[in-house]
Homo-oligomer: A and B are copies of this chain.
Amino acid sequence: MAKVLTSREENYSQWYNDLVIKADLAENSAVRGSMVIKPYGYAIWEKMQAVLDQKFKDTGHQNAYFPLFIPKSFFSKEASHVAGFAKECAVVTHYRLKTDENGNIVVDEDAKLEEELIVRPTSETIIWDTYRKWIQSYRDLPLLINQWANVVRWEMRTRLFLRTAEFLWQEGHTAHATKDEAITEAETMLNVYSDFAENYMAMPVLKGTKSPNERFAGAIETYCIEALMQDGKALQAGTSHFLGQNFAKAFDVKYVTKENKQEYVWATSWGVSTRLMGALVMAHSDDNGLVLPPKLAPIQVVIVPIYRKPEELAAISEKVEGLIKDLKANDISVKFDDRDTHKPGFKFAEWELKGVPVRLAIGPRDLANGTVEVARRDTLEKEILQFEGISTKIKNLLEQIQINIYQKAYDFREQNTFVVDDWNDFKAKVEAGGFILAHWDGTEETEQKIKDETKATIRSIPIDGKMEEGKCIFSGNPSNQRVVFAKAY
């Protein structure tokens, strides 16, 4: 069968784009930089949302919804925040269209807004403007809120899921009485994200903090999880920010302590986005298509009947009916692909492309022998098994696949993580790809120079990294900890 995808070897970037489109995850829209998330892609996102949402609720958070539009003046209130976001905003200036004398639809210049509205690139400002009204006393704290929303950042070079003008995300915004409590919150949410990445996306991540250059605009500290993609580039998969009292001061949010004193509130924010979809695709998939971890696969098991005559299909349908019921009762999503418009070979290729973890094929000979062919997507292995008791085997197999996918990604990362002390070696390793553990002198200047010369950025200052005296890979100045360098998405 002809390959539908460019191979990773040939052109990794093209492979990714082909795959996202051909596996029906997303496509470009008529609006520059905005994507359409197709039903199959959206179903994966919904599974991600459901898991994350439950984790947020389990850690005491509630959902709410804040306006899409933010008054322009709000952005001026937190100096570093505006510097980080003002350059990439969609600006609403008018509120009406009209038909002109030639019958064309044009902007009605009489309907110009007094103050322009910005389509939210992130919601700290509008939310902290609201929190001023919600927070008076220590009794109102902590305030633990999350929002599922769309945001817009005007990107010049876009890529499906990885970098789009509009994307979907969740943004948590919390307010606390003390600095320690806020830091604990930021760390808790980082752990929620890393747990999700590793145990659901089957994607190992490094936990760390960001260097000043890579920090969120307005944060005191940015915590992050970083994953390594198959092309050796890093992908930031989630961030959690300790915002100090920056936004509380900018929006005058104070509370009365138990001792009846006025204090500014401490803040965090944290988010993951549809970018995770891109990470999921790039972490595991192969030249045949998607490889989805069972916990996030919209269809976990597909059953393809092999038949020529209608009565054969009827016999197969009858045979698998109980199995389908049993799998569903165990919360396993199963599809019986009895379309008569396509041949089994086409169906095999399609479900392989779409990353369904387990495929069963069953034909008249299987019926006679009491067997079924079981193929697993991650290893592409097939075997003939007894139909009797297959339900339990499928459950075990799904668990094995989840573990195997994680292990494969973990091994890949281990093989592509390098401890480097020599500058030429550093440059070569950066070029080849992977995580590079090297010493850094802690200055923004050096960080920038390394980036200019190699395109590598500091992805992460490991949270649990061991302290170790050394010399900066670039400047030779003293350093007491290795940091993680890589080229990144």
User: Contacts A30-B74, A36-B66, A130-B36 hold; do A95 and B86 have CB atoms under 8 A apart?
Assistant: no
Note all chain B residues with C-beta closer than 8 A to A117: 31, 90
Interface centre among A37, A64, A154 (most CB of B within 10 A): A64
Tell me, in angstroms, the Cα distance from A73 to B43 when the chains sit together.
31
Evaluate contact between B30 and A126: CB separation under 8 angstroms. yes
Tell me, in angstroms, the Cα distance from A233 to B87 when the chains sit together.
47
Task: Tell me, rounded to whole Å, the shortest Cβ–Cβ distance linking A49 to chain B.
Answer: 11
Evaluate contact between B42 and A168: CB separation under 8 angstroms. no
Chain B residue with Cβ nearest A93: B93
Note all chain B residues with C-beta closer than 8 A to A73: 105
Task: Tell me, rounded to whole Å, the shortest Cβ–Cβ distance linking A306 to chain B.
Answer: 21
User: Contacts A66-B29, A70-B31 hold; do A97 and B87 have CB atoms under 8 A apart?
Assistant: yes
A198 within 8 A of B: no
The interface size bin for chain A is: 35 or more
Chain B residue with Cβ nearest A342: B139
A39 within 8 A of B: yes
Task: Tell me, rounded to whole Å, the shortest Cβ–Cβ distance linking A486 to chain B.
Answer: 30
- 30 pairs across A/B with beta carbons < 8 Å? A29-B130, A30-B71, A30-B74, A30-B130, A34-B68, A34-B69, A36-B64, A36-B67, A38-B64, A39-B63, A42-B65, A65-B168, A68-B119, A68-B166, A69-B152, A69-B166, A72-B105, A72-B107, A73-B105, A76-B104, A86-B96, A86-B97, A86-B98, A86-B105, A88-B96, A90-B94, A90-B117, A92-B119, A93-B107, A95-B154
- Report A's interface with B, CB cutoff 8 A: 27, 29-31, 34-39, 42-43, 45-46, 62-76, 82, 86-99, 104-105, 107, 116-119, 126, 129-130, 133, 139, 145, 149-150, 152, 154, 166, 168, 341
